[in-house]
Amino acid sequence: MTAYITRRLIYGLFVLVGVNVFTFALFFFVNSPDDMARAQLGAKRVTPEAVAKWKHERGYDKPLFLNEKSTGVAKLTDTVFFEKSAKLFVFEFGASDQGRNIGYDISTRMWPSLAVQLPAFIIGLLVYISFALLMAFFRATYLDFWGVVLCVLMMSISGLFYIIGGQFVFGKLWNLVPISGYDTGFDAIKFLALPVLIGVISGIGSSARWYRTIFLEEISKDYVRTARAKGLSETRVLFRHVLQNAMIPILTGVVVVIPLLFMGALITESFFGIPGLGSYTIDAISQQDFAIVRVMVFLGSVLYIIGLILTDISYTLVDPRVRFS
Amino acid sequence: MMPFIVEWLWSDALVWLLVVAAIGFALYTRRHPHLRAPWARVARSASGMAAATVLAAFVLVGLMDSLHYRAALPQQGGKTAYATEVRSLLDRVLEPLRLTREKTYSAPLATHLYAKETVQLQDGTEARVFPRLRHGGAHLKDPQADWCLDVAMKAFRGLTFGLLLWFVVAIGICAAVARGRDAGIEMVWRDAWAGRTEVPWRAVFCALGLLCILIGPVAALAPYYHVLGTDKVGQDVLYQALKSIRTGLVIGTLATLVMLPFALVLGLMAGYFKGWVDDLIQYLYTTLSSIPGVLLIAAAVLMMQVYIENHAELFPTTEIRADVRLLALCVILGVTSWTGLCRLLRGEALKLREMEYIQAAHAFGVSHWRVMMRHITPNVMHIVMIALVMDFSGLVLAEAVLSYVGVGVDPSMISFGTMINSARLEMAREPMVWWSLAAAFVFMLTLVLAANLFADAVRDAFDPRLIVGGRS
């Protein structure tokens, strides 16, 4: 099993190298640093001196891969690729194009993101599974039918409308919670309640429907018929046998997103004014801060790959077939 | 001289190419019973057929908006000049909506502006009043007294016409069915309502009836009022909502079209050849799918924006620039989303290559290329078809989110995303401006819901597991 995990880790590292090279190509080959400088400075202020100054301040004036002017190892290290891309592997994120320390920003802003995402994730999972179990328990009845109708209807509504509608109803109409903002400590709860609630509601449609399909697929298997033939009650069959076996496909989709919770939710955070990584990314995109976008792309892939490896590990824990093969 | 010249935008050309391809595919399918069978199952699904009816209405609007032209200007000195503005057929039809600009916000069907203005009265004093609209309800002499009756009368007339149109179309369908079955129209009509026909015409008639009941009054009122109000710059919201349809449809269809060749070729190659080809392709899609979707799209769109800004000379007009941006967005969405389907197709190809008929083909000396084209591709088409229809609604929803993030369509292009984006701050206004959002919500929900229901019907009809198991 250790060998298996090690193999997955090495593969993950290879994938990260691929991501790194890909982002580098995307950011430096499609447009030259000159183009980016011009886009950043705006059309009016572009002079060759300003472009050169902008590039020099941010270290984009070095050669891309090979610095002929330097000697020894510096030939390879004193380049844009090494400074901007390779250093990401040791989590040295450098400065943003606006001159802020990205590493510091990320370390402070990931906690508000997590404060929204983690409760939304846990409550969401409980709600979705319960709702799906309810539909599966009453399968082929009106409750099941209208449950599915509700799911399809809810998944046809854009996430933006859930946020706008939630802010309107809970914030403006009923005045229960502030519309947006953030605070530290226990005061944060009143700011977090609505984003968490909306995060849960907006996911019900697709998730509950998906879990229902998984449960129904499991219910139609032979071992369930055997369990019923033994005389087990329907509740016991559902909770003891079906739920446990359905956890395997559910785990695939769930464990992989856990590390990504750090990244926050772009839209939610920007609507609710939560100073997390999601709103950080949105601000970077609107200011065309390429350094931050590049770092976030890399960080996102790192977290995703951690999620994949966690999924593999969790498989070995829940599924004996994987453990012994 | 010609009164107009046709202007082919890139996306128009691709949309019509798609239409031609779809017609060709339909004709091909008609002649082959085994291809026709799943579509016949789709046609037997009531919700699927109702959704298809609604989708057809949306597609009609989208296609009308995909025929662009430039009108001829009044002649000057014998030479014909053409306007620089590119208009579509839909713009021409909706001319009364497009040209009747108000000053700013006005509520649906209103006769007065939504904000008070200081106006000079005849006796020289100033007063804060709600001024009359320039176009909305301008034909009324005394809005307070006449408005209610006028709106009701026009809506009623529209409703009557709508119902009449519905009846004619429904009878037309019955007549067509009757000719095929050698039965009387009346009998088909009665069978359809009793649910005895093979194709659930009752669902189609209901969906069609609902559409006609809605469209009739709206069409009757639209020349005189702003049925869905006006936005901040006084533009008719109904016009914006109708224009958004094309953007959504183009993104939903062209992005999947871009994705398809990548997924099909790479997925089949990986599954068929196995070995290092498989390893390489797996590595490729793991790498690409490990980057969170929105970030990857954002990064690519940012780069595209910089490119367009630095090469402004390539895009002479706003329309062309917006169109190229729309296409580039489709390409980016396609290139970033092929991994899921690719994985599915790889798995299927892995299974198929071990089948006996493939082994037999090998034994006869059929080349790899031909085996893949003739023997494997047709047998994975059901997966492709399901993926195509399932992805559509997700892409329409994604457009709205991406436009909000600032990496969606060009800000000058009307889309659901830009509509929501500009309307969301209006919720904070006192009194609230709700109609822009409501219009975007209703149109988007209808389109996505219809797409989802249709996709479900297609999946149920094409998925062999569901057909064999007899479940739905």
Q: Is B300 on the interface with A (CB under 8 A)?
A: yes
pLDDT of residue B126: 78
Interior angle at CA B360, CA B357 and CA B364, nearest 5: 140
Which stretches of chain A score pLDDT less than 70?
A: 43-45, 65-67, 70-77, 322-325
Give residue B467's pLDDT: 58
- Does the distance separating the beta carbons of A304 and B306 come in below 8 Å? no
B13 shares contact with chain A (CB less than 8 Å):
no
- Cα separation of B259 and B394, whole Å? 14
Residues B123, B120: Cα–Cα separation, whole Å: 8
Residues 6+ apart with CB under 8 A from B202: B46, B192, B193, B195
Which H or E run includes B7? strand B4-7
DSSP state of A98: T
By Cβ distance, the residue of A153, A290, A305 closest to B290 is A305
CB contact under 8 A, B302 and A220: no
- Nearest residue on chain B to A306, judged by CA atoms? B290
Six token digits for residue B47? 């919700």
Three-state DSSP class for residue A221:
coil
Half-sphere exposure (CA, 13 Å, Cβ side) for A113?
23
CB < 8 Å to B394, chain A: none
Return d(Cα B446, Cα B184) in angstroms, integer: 35
Q: What count of other Cβ atoms lies within 10 Å of the Cβ of residue B125?
A: 7
Taking contacts as CB-CB distances below 8 angstroms, the residues of chain B near A60 are: none
> Shortest CB distance from B287 goes to which of A18, A31, A282?
A18
With an 8 Å Cβ cutoff, is B420 touching chain A? Answer: yes
**Neighboring chain A residues of B431 at a CB cutoff of 8 Å:** none
The alpha-carbon gap from B164 to the nearest alpha carbon of chain A, in Å, equals: 31
Separation in Å, CA of B384 to nearest CA in chain A: 20
Q: pLDDT at position B306, please?
A: 83
Angle at B177 between CA B176 and CA B182, to 5 degrees: 100
Would the CB atoms of A304 and B290 count as touching at under 8 Å? yes
- The CA-based dihedral angle spanning residues B102, B103, B105, B107, taken in that order and rounded to the nearest 10 degrees: -40
Parallel, antiparallel, or unpaired for β B87-88 and B68-71? antiparallel
Residue among B6, B1, B4, B10 at smallest CA distance from B319? B10
The answer to whether B406 contacts chain A (CB < 8 Å) is yes
Fill in the DSSP letter of residue B73.
Answer: P
* Residues of B with Cβ-Cβ distance to A179 under 8 angstroms: 428
In B121-250, where do the E strands start and end?
126-129
149-188 of B, contacting A, C-beta below 8 A: none
Instruction: Tell me how close the Cα of A163 comes to any Cα of chain B, in angstroms.
Output: 10
Contact B298 A290 (CB under 8 A): no
Which of A285, A304, A312 would you mutate first to test chain B, the one with the most B CBs within 10 A?
A285
Closest residue of A to B392, CA-based? A156
Contacts of A10 in chain B (CB under 8 A): none
Nearest by Cα to B404 from B392, B419, B391: B419
A164/B300 CB distance under 8 A: no
* Cα nearest neighbour of A145 on chain B: B472
Nearest to B406 among A19, A263, A285 (CB): A285
Give CA angle at A195 (B337, A200), nearest 5°: 60
pLDDT in tens, chain B (472 residues): 677 888 888 889 999 999 999 999 999 999 988 888 889 889 988 999 999 999 999 999 999 999 888 888 777 766 777 777 788 888 888 888 888 888 788 888 888 888 777 777 777 777 777 877 777 777 877 777 888 888 899 999 999 999 999 999 999 998 888 888 777 888 888 888 888 888 888 999 999 999 999 999 999 888 888 888 888 888 889 999 999 999 999 999 999 888 999 999 999 999 999 889 999 999 999 999 888 888 888 888 888 888 887 787 777 778 888 888 899 999 999 988 899 899 999 999 998 988 899 999 989 999 999 999 888 998 898 889 888 888 899 999 999 889 888 888 888 888 998 888 888 777 777 777 888 889 999 999 999 999 999 999 999 888 877 655 444 3
Which of A167, A179, A300 faces B291 most closely, judged by CB atoms?
A: A300
Residues of A with Cβ-Cβ distance to B307 under 8 angstroms:
30-31, 35
Taking an 8 Å cut-off on Cβ atoms, the answer to whether A15 and B286 are in contact is: yes
Query: Which pair of tokens denotes residue B443?
Result: 């149109």
Cβ of A301 within 8 Å of Cβ of B290? The answer is yes
d(CA A274, CA B466): 44
Q: In whole angstroms, what is the distance from residue B468 CA to residue B352 CA? A: 18
Backbone angles phi, psi at A323, to 5 degrees: -60, -40
Name A252's Cβ contacts closer than 8 Å, sequence gap at least 6: A311
Q: Give the nearest chain B residue to A160 (CA atoms).
A: B401
Contact A19 B290 (CB under 8 A): yes
How far is it, in rounded angstroms, from Cα A84 to Cα A292? 11
Which residue of A7, A156, A270 is the best one to mutate when testing the B interface, meaning the one whose CB has the most B CBs within 10 A?
A156
Of B295, B397, B427, the CB nearest to A300: B295
> Within 10 Å of residue B460's Cβ, how many Cβ atoms?
19
B306 touches chain A (CB under 8 A): yes
Q: Do residues B381 and B25 make contact, with C-beta atoms less than 8 angstroms apart? A: no
The residue among B386, B269, B288 whose CA lies nearest residue B333 is B288
Whether residue B208 contacts residue B170, with contact meaning beta carbons closer than 8 Å, is answered with: yes
Q: What distance in Å separates the CA atoms of residue B257 and residue B190, rounded to the nearest whole number? A: 42
CA distance A231 to chain B (A): 25
Q: Is B424 an interface residue toward A (CB < 8 Å)?
A: yes
